[in-house]
Amino acid sequence: MGSIRSWSFAAASTTILVADSAVATTDGISTCGETWMAVNDVTIGDGTDHRSGFNSAVDRFCSSSDVDGATVKEDGYLSMATETFLSGGKDPSTYGLLGFLKSTTRRARITKLTVGSSHLPERAKYSLSPATKCKNYLKTLSSEGKCYGDTNKDTKGGTYQVGDNEVSYHALANIIPPTQDALNKAFTEGALSTQTVNLGGGPELDPWPFDSLDDVLPVAVHSHNDYTNQQIPVFQALSAGCVSIEADVWLVDGDVSIGHKEPAVGRTLGKQYVEPLKAILDHNGGSVYKANTTQGFSLLVDFKSKDDETLDAVVKALDPLRQADYLSKVVDGKFQEKQVTVVASGDAPFDRISKFDGIPGKDVFYDAKLTDLDKEDYNTLNSYWASAQFGKAARGDVENQRLSGDQTGKIEAQVKAAHDKGLKVRYWDLPGDYIWEQLSALGVDRLNADDMSATARLPRIS
């Protein structure tokens, strides 16, 4: 994936600008943003992990050596972007996802402006350091007021005007990183723009913010139908800490394209999943998560086309991971776990996979039928997961969001049967994410998730 550009930056959060000169007459918040952020740093995962909030991002920005003492030209900009925790207007301790705070300070109609100099608005001429003045302006956006959420203590950020539009401070968040090379360093060529996510024949992001995931701890979650449920496939799942990810594939002209009910021609498994995963592994020195280098990862490939050539095309698409020796495989009659385990589901042919017919690397495994484990000789040399549709497996609706005694018994028995064979258990088509903790308590290994932000409440794997 040599064409992917990358950024290096510290895990913090903020992006804003500084400067001015001219007597202020109309200081204050002029606009609020659209995206809620946690005001302060927050503990997630039932106390097992942490994320940076808006105020922490402001502190890091204003104290940055790239900002303090920098000069902003007339009609010029000073910008920076860093990570922040996007809370969606909900309790950030249980709901949220990594995002990017993109801030810009613009100076207009001013003859000269040096950040950190004495040329500051009269109202800002306190006996404070320049960095403190910068923080005072920006933290106004997270103080009680129209940009502030009093229930969950979050902010939408926005724009703070100094004087009659002579200088403005912008602090706006987005789930998608900026186009410019501005993560944790100053950018002076204009305001920051948001990338367009590539849902075609290339990586989802370019540049790809590899280092933004450095401090993310994994969680026992599967990103269900990742390619369609997430605004940024792969990246959002990893931002949440998922340890498995799913892509549905169809055979198209000898390759496998991604799609649920029909293929998106040109959007291939190789370009959208294999190459990004390899680039991440290469960048991290051979692990998906730097914060837990021993954590394995699963790529679930759901076969939507029954053509015999589909398996051949999948095997071919996986070759970059295979050549780098990142794929789990069978060696000398034993399962050898590596960084990525490929699991074939849907209409994948068990008879071929169990014999590694057309799989010379012996590195594709089957998603066994959880409710019919005696149908085939499922074992750790041909299978890795055992899955089932929740409603059919548990038999019946979940009343009052609690499993009945009968349902609990069925799930316990299914989990035990799969674990006795050395297989990991997953249920799909869940009635809601309220059932995650109940399933986890019963030994379910992978919790199916569509909303990555909701996974913030789940304990991390350290």
Task: Residue 295: give the domain boundaries.
Answer: 210-457
**Do 134 and 220 share a structural domain?**
no
Q: What is the pLDDT of residue 133?
A: 74
Is residue 399 included in any domain, yes or no? yes
**Do 403 and 267 share a structural domain?**
yes
pLDDT in tens, 160-175: 887 766 788 889 999 9
pLDDT in tens, 183-224: 888 888 888 999 999 999 899 999 999 999 999 999 999 999
**Do 349 and 438 share a structural domain?**
yes
Report CA dihedral (240, 245, 247, 248) to the nearest 10 degrees: -120
DSSP result, 67-88: TTT-B--TTEEEEEEEEEEE-T
C-beta of residue 138 within 8 angstroms of C-beta of residue 61: yes
Q: What is the pLDDT of residue 299?
A: 98
Of 178, 193, 209, nearest in space to 81 by CA? 178
Angle (CA) 80-86-89 rounded to 5° is 135
Tell me which long-range contacts 267-271 makes (C-beta under 8 A, separation of at least 24).
267/199, 267/200, 267/201, 267/227, 268/201, 268/317, 269/301, 269/314, 269/317, 270/317, 270/320, 271/201, 271/202, 271/203
Q: What is the pLDDT of residue 165?
A: 63
**CATH number of the domain within which 282 lies:** 3.20.20.190
Is residue 191 included in any domain, yes or no? no
Pick from 174, 202, 232: which residue ends a domain?
174
Measured between alpha carbons, how far apart are the two ends of the chain, in Å?
Answer: 29
**Do 439 and 291 share a structural domain?**
yes
Name the average pLDDT for the chain.
88
Tokens 């010029």 sit at which residue? 76
pTM: 0.90
At position 155, the amino acid (one-letter code) is: T
Q: Is 142 helix (H, G, I), strand (E, B) or coil?
A: helix
Q: Which helix (H) or strand (E) holds 330?
A: strand 329-331
